[in-house]
Structure 1
Amino acid sequence: MQQLEPIHTPLISGLPDDIALFCLARVPRRYHTLLKCVSRRWKELVCSEEWYSYRRKHNLEETWIYALCRDRINQICCYVLDPNSSKRCWRRIRDIPSQCTKRKGMSFEALGNKIYLLGGCGWFQDATDEVYCYDTSKNSWDKVAAMSTASFDSYSVVDLVVSKRVCELFALVLLFGVSTWCYFACEALNEKIYAIGGVGSNSSDPLSWDTYDPRTNSWTSYSDLNVVPDIEESVVMDGKIYIRCGASSTIPPHVYSVVYEPSNGTWQHADNDMVSGWRGPSIVVNDVLYVLDETSGTRLMMWQKESKDWVALGRLSPLLTRPPCRLAVVGNCIIVIGKGLSTVVIDVGEARNMGGVVVSSSIPKLASDDDVISCKTMSL
């Protein structure tokens, strides 16, 4: 019997597929969910690597903001914001893996067209090495390769202290032991995820970092004497990873920074002048470091590399911001996201202030007072 060849169904009747792709790829990202409802072929296309690569190659990507939060019943939740929409509002992402919703100290990172939830712990379970991946094209969660060591995120400790839930921190230390609660930074660089400085078990190395390669779905471990557990903040600048460290055992606490040089795979101490003003959430816009100083009010600071000096751009209006805040960047704009997802947008290319207050626009907060743990951006 002669075998029939599969019939090719064009994306758009009467058009070659390359022309159809040229047209469909220019549909705004907020309508991609509707495109997937048209036909099986359209759904396969929108969920494919070809679609992601085509939009990236032709500069059609649109950047959305993802926020990892903890709600009023102390459960993890995730929200997404399209900053380009005329109706800018935060939308909750459903179906977060049930294993993650009650964990403490989870790390949050974006790489490619995926969002990752890494590690964490629970009241009655040790630190976990599990990693879950959210495919933004398919709107689905999957489990990927586990980390090399079970680790905790530094920001969870900071969140507990900032929110005055100190008793909760001590309770977790008593339950899991000092060796399972530690500082852990997470950054994306050169198409890999770096998990830095975590200690999740008695046998793991606090002077280590792990890298995740999504192409092979595998982790690799390294160690360096300059990597320490007490990491307070991290950022990628000039193709390098900077982490701000704090030695809480000294009085006053000794704060310093180390930088990772990918060309030789080593960590070195960074400029002390830069560390002196690095006192809060940070973000890099066009290779310039900005810090939100929340020690006295809320001030946006800029690091000038040439003069090695910190410059204050101005205060943020207390009517719009609700500290503690996290930062994200879209184009030339810094997005300041505070409690309840109160959101302020500052265009640093046209940064100016009136009466010392930075001119900005705002996005209404949620009805709830969710605490923001981390914010990332992802372009598709």
Structure 2
Amino acid sequence: MLEGRSCLISRALPSSCEQETKWAYMTHHLLERTSTKRSLDLSSGDQGDVLDKDLVIRTKSIKFTESSHSSSKSDCAESNNLISSIGRDNSISCLLRCSRSDYGLLASLSRGFRSLIRSGELYRLRRVHGITESWVYFSCAVEEWEAYDPYRARWINLPKMPHNECFMCSDKESLAVGTELLVFGKVVNSHIVLRYSILTNSWSPGVAMNSPRCLFGSASFGEKAIFAGGCDAGGAILSSAELYNSETKTWTTLPAMNKPRKMCSGVFMDKKFYVIGGISNHAELLTCGEEFDLEKGTWRIIPNMSLGLNGASGAPPLVAVVNNELYAAHYGDEEVVKYDKKNNVWVTLGRLPERPASMNGWGLAFRACGERLVVIGGPRALGGGVIELHSWVPRYGEPPEWNMIARKQSGSFVYNCAVMNC
């Protein structure tokens, strides 16, 4: 987890970076001073037009004015225009520890910085070194998405989704995996996928599943994700499952579950994938869950794993995993419950936040965001309202104590929500 709200560059530098500490420290503060400016559109060809030009000039000046560390043009070329005095590897070591909120600004400094960030190399290395920030992405309007960075307390507006009348009116599912946000929906008699990339800040068509579906259970781990169950284009409820690799943009068919189910939820816990709740072929409300062992490639039924979590409306269970512990929002009783793995029962911990409301389980998001649980929603109001993010860090034996970490004018009904960890 990225520590606190600072870049930590000067604290985390290797010994060979010590001479560049002043550059890193001053760059961080220049970035902080521009934190309220509009985010940089990485898809733009001319990055400097969007960025505060004074910032670029001052940052480049800091970078190259130290005479004791000046280098030739050939040295700069060899280091791809990063911090030439300390070399490419140490430059990357410094950049890994910057907040990804600042990557748009850093991409404007040179072609080397821009190539490093847009290629996704920095994010792959962050994953290897366990440097992760969890941002919440959600949609309270049909074609609009926004994100919230809890480390810098920043709101980020994403570009509007490409307009498609059928797609906008269909049921949609979403999941963040790697550096992508995937949104699944239906057009006439087929399913499509739209893909938002944080590398380019743009939407594009995603790669279709081997067996396209909607209303499935899903969860991601790093650059991979598993999708199980759901409905095909004809409405048939599925038991099949697939694995998606966001690095290769490929789908792999997995063994099928024991039971077909739709309107279910998925989580990863203890290096295994779980599908919880849902509705079967005969409109039966399922109380069992299924566990998929990735190493063995087998499914196991867990009786009563989702007992009481699905409401009468059939809304998918609101579940989330923090530190390999499974939690659920029991929206009927407005309570938070925790799964006792040993005894296969749910234990009540305390209350959900008071203000966010749901409509029989719809319109409210309950997610894991790093080491915290977040509830996203708002009080119901005609003609608009507010969206609120409430946060709680679970601690053993303590009841929930929710803190509102963000609030803004917005629609208060959450259509889709995902957390991106990268």
TM-score by length of 1: 0.76
Alignment equivalent of 1:84, drawn from 151, 156, 161:
151
* Change beyond 3 A, Cα 1:28–1:271: same
Q: 1:247 to 1:202 in 2, by over 3 A?
A: closer
Q: Deviations over 1:271-294 (max 9, x none)?
A: 42x322534300011111101011
2:133 corresponds in structure 1 to 62
Equivalence map 1:1-380=2 (5 Å): 7-8=77-78, 9-67=80-138, 69-71=139-141, 75-85=142-152, 88-99=153-164, 102-118=168-184, 120-122=185-187, 125-128=188-191, 130-153=192-215, 184-189=216-221, 191-202=223-234, 206-222=238-254, 224=256, 226-243=258-275, 244-247=277-280, 249=282, 253-272=285-304, 274-279=305-310, 280-296=317-333, 298-319=334-355, 321-323=356-358, 324-339=363-378, 340-349=386-395, 352-353=398-399, 358-380=400-422
Q: Please state how far the C-alpha of 1:372 moved relative to its aligned partner.
A: 1.5
Q: Is the 8 A contact 1:76 1:103 kept in 2?
A: no
Amino acid at match of 2:374: I
Equivalent residue letter for 1:292: A
Sort the Cα spacing of 1:53 and 1:221 in 2 relative to 1 into closer, same or farther, 3 A.
closer
Give 1:314 deviation, angstroms: 0.8
Classify 1:368/1:229 alpha carbon distance in 2 versus 1 (closer, same or farther; 3 Å): same
**2:217–2:228: 8 Å Cα contact kept in structure 1?**
yes
| Separation in structure 2 between the aligned mates of residue 213 and residue 31 of structure 1, nearest angstrom | 26
Return the offset for 1:300.
0.7
Call closer, same or farther: CA 1:257–1:103 in 2, change over 3 Å: same
Aligned length: 329
Q: Deviations over 1:164-190 (max 9, x none)?
A: xxxxxxxxxxxxxxxxxxxx2222257
Q: Unaligned 5+ residue runs, structure 1?
A: 154-183
Give secondary structure in 2 for the equivalent of 1:348. coil
Aligned partner letter, 2:145: C
CA change 1:229–1:372 in 2 (3 A) is same
SS class of match (2:93) = helix
* 2-structure distance, mates of 1:203, 1:62: 37
TM-score normalised by L of structure 2: 0.69
Aligned to 1:166: none
- Give the CA deviation at 1:207: 2.8
* Pairwise CA distance, 1:212: 2.3
Q: Shift of the alpha carbon at 1:103? A: 4.3
Distance 2:106 2:134 in 1: 19
Counterpart of 2:199 in 1: which secondary structure?
coil
Residues 45, 369 of structure 1: alpha-carbon distance in 2 compared, 3 angstrom cutoff: same
Q: Is the 8 A contact 1:195 1:209 kept in 2?
A: yes
Q: Secondary structure at the match of 2:261?
A: coil
C-alpha displacement at 1:254, in angstroms?
4.8
CA distance in 1, matches of 2:97, 2:256: 46
Gap change, CA 1:57 and 1:267, over 3 Å in 2: closer
- SS of equivalent to 2:112: helix
Q: Deviations over 1:202-255 (max 9, x none)?
A: 49772322332334433233563623133332222222222213348468x453
CA–CA separation in structure 2 for the residues paired with 1:142 and 1:290: 34
Q: Which amino acid aligns with 1:322?
A: A
Q: Using the alignment, how far apart are the partners of 1:10 and 1:230 within structure 2?
A: 51
Question: Structure 1 residues 64, 111: closer, same or farther in 2, change over 3 A?
Answer: same
Tell me, yes or no, if the aligned pair for 1:227 and 1:267 is still in contact at 8 Å: no
Higher relative contact order (CA 8 A, sep 6+): 1
Change (3 A) 1:307 1:205: closer
If each structure's strand is expressed as a fraction of its own residues, which one has the higher value?
Answer: 1
Superposed CA offset, 1:66-92 (max 9, x none) = 22x242xxx23222111111xx25432
SS at match of 1:264: coil
- For 1:209, give the aligned amino acid: A
CA distance in 1 between partners of 2:296 and 2:96 (Å)? 39
1: distance between equivalents of 2:161 and 2:150? Answer: 23
The Cα offsets for residues 100-150 of structure 1, whole Å up to 9 and x where unpaired, read as 8614222211222222122x125xx2232x223222133222333222233
Q: Which moved more, 1:137-146 or 1:95-104?
A: 95-104
Q: Equivalents in 1 of 2:126, 2:257: separation in Å?
A: 42
Query: CA separation of 1:303/1:10 partners in 2, compared to 1, >3 Å: closer, same or farther?
Result: same
CA-to-aligned-CA distance 1:323-343 (integer Å, 9 cap, x gap): 342122233210111245321
> Which AA in structure 2 matches 1:245?
G
Indicate the SS of the match to 2:190.
coil
